[in-house]
Amino acid sequence: MVLPNFKENLGKYAKLLVANGINVQPGHTLALSIDVEQRELAHLIVKEAYALGAHEVIVQWTDDVIN
């Protein structure tokens, strides 16, 4: 069951995480290690990081099936 407003809340969470938790600033490089099952969250984190001026976002995908 998907919770109501899940995508909207996930977007808000990604924004909070990038702006306040990670504190991405213009020119920063962000390295993100995240499981492939969390790809939707990863996409939102990358989007928010670039919106805040990140120079580069490096994503390292993990997968429990093949790791």
Give the pLDDT of residue 67: 78
23-42 pLDDT, tens digit each: 999 999 999 999 999 999 99
Taking the C-alpha atoms of residue 4 and residue 45, their distance in angstroms, rounded to an integer, is 21
Given a cut of 70, the residues of the chain with pLDDT beneath it are 1-2
Give the pLDDT of residue 2: 65
DSSP class of residue 66 equals T
Give the pLDDT of residue 3: 76
Residue with tokens 């899940």: 6
Helical axes 6-16 vs 39-51, angle rounded to 10°: 50
CB atoms inside a 10 Å sphere around CB 29: 11
